[in-house]
């Protein structure tokens, strides 16, 4: 029996006792949105309780409530059967709750020991000073207890992501955490690092630590989870055991209806001329020797694990990063400049983080829609409000962007509509090749279908598309073909009939 299976068996025995920690009827409201609506939830010692939900389902609000960063509006918390309050991070700490967020809370220029004991430093002889020897010794002890052998005097800025995560866990353990909340812990880890993490989780389980684990990866959910809770729109939909459901069932619960997994792709066009040809492209951000081709009427996928270099490739193609070697030919013309040249030639980039890189949130929908098309709409350089609003409103209608008016601040729109604005901006500019970086991230399923329909229409009308996605299913359903990346290089190309989740994953894996 594997370690994990053993611990699962152990958990089912322990469940006879009252839960270690329980939430009952927790609600949290913000102006305009109910983040948590009457959520109830429990964990037993030594269990891994999976938390699933789409973006906006309430997972991050739940985490913030658990660690005391947010205060719940109503509902109650129970520890070992007794009612407790969590009004501040200190309360959560006292209960032994520790949350490990995706963005770590480590201070880069302090060392491991200082980070672990931040706020709880052992005092030196003079009041206010720190006992250096003791803090290092204590830190070493904690690190050893989780099997992480490293010198505690090393500064955080010198550690890799996986190592930093270990430090975060050590920090939690040093606070006598009995309940650990982990937010997508394997998102930035390599396979080997993921294995080590799972071994650590097994160890923690054996010690009786309860783990609330947020993940989007079905494989993990089923192999690691003892129980699964699904959230949707701030409400708890259901709690199930991994053996009793299939991943389709889970998706249905997360989404609220039977998801039509067939995306609206017409595959109407036979691919036309070559729009983009990349030869031997390399850049300082770690990609090398990239060759790829995109034709008119095609949607070409770009896959690979997180960190394989996909975003770096498209940034180099678009000119956002400088290329150190190679050639980029767009519609026959050589391209060597920055984003302004790219836009002028007809390239478009829809970035991964639309709020930070794709939109000016304080400006209006209209302003954002025309910003890349200024030279096209006003070739003489003189700007006219009336004309600008006209163009903007046309686009709003055409793309069915849900906004009270073109003057609405774009930051107030929903994720899906914001994405439409980003795409619309390039439509207005007359782009011929659209590069999408995770186009449906953070968008609810209804809007996702709309976005794909939009992309399909663009391509059917003669444009070309290059699409990065971490969801293999999307790639398989939507793309004509796909390149798979690994470690900054193209590992292979899959034609339409070869496109399957298995093949993508196989090509994208390390071959040590």
Q: Applying CB under 8 A, what is the total number of residues that bind another protein?
A: 93
Residue from 6, 17, 144, 160 in contact with another protein (CB under 8 A): 160
Binding window for another protein (CB under 8 A); candidates: 2-10, 272-280, 376-384, 484-492: 376-384
Distance CA 271, CA 460 (A): 10
Residue among 295 and 389 whose Cβ is closer to another protein: 389
Distance CA 87, CA 105 (A): 20
- Contact status: 32 vs another protein (CB under 8 A): yes
Is residue 457 within 8 A of residue 481, CB to CB? The reply is no
Minimum distance from CB of 163 to another protein (Å)?
6
Residues 409-438 that bind another protein (CB under 8 A): 409, 411-417, 425, 429
Binding window for another protein (CB under 8 A); candidates: 254-262, 351-359, 452-460, 485-493: 351-359
Residue from 285, 344, 390, 394 in contact with another protein (CB under 8 A): 344
Q: How many CB atoms lie within 10 A of CB 131?
A: 14
- Contact status: 25 vs another protein (CB under 8 A): no
Residue from 9, 33, 199, 261 in contact with another protein (CB under 8 A): 33
- Contact status: 362 vs another protein (CB under 8 A): yes
Helix (H, G, I), strand (E, B) or coil at 155: strand
Binding window for another protein (CB under 8 A); candidates: 145-153, 235-243, 262-270, 465-473: 145-153
Minimum distance from CB of 47 to another protein (Å)?
25
Residue from 4, 374, 460, 505 in contact with another protein (CB under 8 A): 374
Is residue 482 within 8 A of residue 508, CB to CB? The reply is no
Is residue 37 within 8 A of residue 57, CB to CB? The reply is no
Q: Beta partners for 228? A: 50, 240
Residue among 245 and 445 whose Cβ is closer to another protein: 445
Please calculate the CA angle 338-406-411 and round it to the nearest 5 degrees: 65
Residues 48-77, one symbol each (x = binds another protein by CB under 8 A, - = not), give -------xx-xxxx-----x-x--------
Distance CA 200, CA 73 (A): 35
Q: What is the DSSP string of 27-50?
A: EEEETTEEEEEEEEEEE-TT-EEE
Among residues 27, 494, 463, 34, the alpha carbon closest in space to that of 268 is found at 463
- Contact status: 364 vs another protein (CB under 8 A): yes
Minimum distance from CB of 338 to another protein (Å)?
8
Among residues 32, 36, 23, 22, the alpha carbon closest in space to that of 73 is found at 36
Residues 172-231 that bind another protein (CB under 8 A): none
Minimum distance from CB of 177 to another protein (Å)?
13
Residue from 246, 266, 405, 500 in contact with another protein (CB under 8 A): 405
Binding window for another protein (CB under 8 A); candidates: 220-228, 270-278, 294-302, 353-361: 353-361
Residue among 391 and 479 whose Cβ is closer to another protein: 391
Residue among 158 and 457 whose Cβ is closer to another protein: 158
What is the number of alpha carbons within 13 Å of residue 471 lying toward its C-beta? 13
Binding window for another protein (CB under 8 A); candidates: 16-24, 326-334, 408-416, 454-462: 408-416
DSSP code at position 364? B
Binding window for another protein (CB under 8 A); candidates: 240-248, 261-269, 400-408, 459-467: 400-408
173, 293, 459, 479, 491 from 497: Cα distances, Å: 49, 18, 20, 11, 18
- Residue 149, exposed/middle/buried by CB under 10 A (0-12, 13-18, 19+)? exposed
Distance CA 458, CA 436 (A): 13
Helix (H, G, I), strand (E, B) or coil at 94: helix
Distance CA 7, CA 3 (A): 6
- Contact status: 272 vs another protein (CB under 8 A): no
Q: How many CB atoms lie within 10 A of CB 477?
A: 15
Question: Which pair of tokens denotes residue 443?
Answer: 């968008």
Minimum distance from CB of 461 to another protein (Å)?
21
- Contact status: 85 vs another protein (CB under 8 A): no
Minimum distance from CB of 423 to another protein (Å)?
12
Question: Which pair of tokens denotes residue 388?
Answer: 């600008």
Distance CA 413, CA 403 (A): 7
Residue from 363, 457, 496, 510 in contact with another protein (CB under 8 A): 363
Residue from 187, 218, 274, 320 in contact with another protein (CB under 8 A): 320
Residues 112-131 that bind another protein (CB under 8 A): 114-115, 118-121, 124, 128-130
- Contact status: 138 vs another protein (CB under 8 A): no
Residue among 272 and 337 whose Cβ is closer to another protein: 337
Binding window for another protein (CB under 8 A); candidates: 2-10, 77-85, 217-225, 441-449: 441-449
């Amino acid at each position: 029996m594997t370690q994990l299976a053993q611990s699962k068996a152990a958990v089912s025995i322990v469940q006879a006792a009252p839960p270690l920690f329980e939430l009952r009827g927790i609600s949290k409201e913000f102006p305009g949105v109910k983040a948590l609506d009457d959520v109830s939830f429990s964990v037993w010692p030594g269990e891994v309780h999976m938390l699933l939900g789409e973006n906006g389902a309430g997972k991050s609000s739940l985490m913030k409530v658990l660690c005391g960063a947010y205060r719940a509006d109503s509902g109650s918390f129970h520890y070992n059967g007794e009612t407790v309050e969590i009004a501040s991070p200190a309360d959560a700490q006292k209960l032994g709750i520790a949350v490990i967020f995706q963005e770590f809370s480590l201070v880069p220029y302090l060392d491991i020991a200082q980070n672990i004991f931040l706020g709880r430093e052992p005092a030196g002889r003079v009041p206010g000073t720190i006992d250096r020897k003791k803090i290092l010794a204590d830190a070493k002890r904690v690190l050893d207890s989780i099997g992480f052998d490293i010198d505690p005097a090393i500064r955080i800025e010198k550690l890799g992501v996986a190592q930093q995560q270990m430090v975060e866990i050590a920090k939690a353990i040093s606070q006598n955490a009995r309940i650990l909340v982990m937010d997508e812990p394997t998102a930035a880890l390599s396979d080997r690092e993921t294995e080590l993490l799972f071994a650590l989780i097994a160890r923690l389980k054996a010690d009786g630590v309860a783990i609330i684990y947020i993940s989007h990866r079905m494989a993990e959910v089923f192999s690691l989870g003892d129980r699964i809770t699904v959230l949707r729109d701030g409400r708890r939909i259901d709690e199930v055991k991994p053996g009793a459901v299939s991943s389709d069932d889970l998706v249905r619960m997360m989404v609220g209806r039977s998801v039509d997994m067939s995306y609206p792709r017409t595959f109407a066009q036979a691919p036309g001329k070559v729009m983009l040809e990349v030869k031997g492209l390399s850049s300082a951000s770690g990609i090398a020797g990239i060759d790829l081709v995109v034709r008119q009427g095609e949607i070409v996928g770009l896959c690979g694990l997180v960190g394989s270099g996909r975003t770096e490739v498209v940034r180099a193609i678009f000119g956002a990063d400088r290329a150190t070697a190679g050639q980029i030919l767009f519609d026959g013309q050589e391209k060597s400049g920055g984003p302004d040249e790219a836009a002028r030639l007809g390239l478009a980039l829809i970035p991964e983080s639309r709020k930070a890189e794709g939109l000016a949130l304080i400006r209006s929908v209209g302003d954002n829609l025309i910003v890349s098309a200024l030279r096209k709409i006003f070739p003489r350089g003189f700007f006219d409000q009336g004309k600008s609003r006209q163009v903007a409103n046309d686009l709003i209608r055409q793309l069915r962007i849900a906004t009270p008016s073109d003057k609405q601040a774009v930051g107030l729109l929903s994720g899906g509509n914001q994405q439409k604005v980003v795409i619309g901006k390039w439509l207005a500019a007359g782009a011929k090749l659209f590069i999408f970086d995770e186009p449906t991230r953070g968008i609810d399923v209804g809007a996702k279908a709309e976005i794909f329909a939009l992309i399909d229409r663009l391509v059917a009308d003669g444009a070309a598309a290059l699409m990065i996605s971490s969801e293999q299913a999307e790639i398989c359903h939507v793309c004509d073909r796909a390149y798979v990346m690994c470690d900054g290089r193209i590992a292979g190309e899959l034609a339409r009939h070869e496109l399957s989740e298995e093949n993508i994953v196989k090509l994208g894996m390390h071959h040590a």
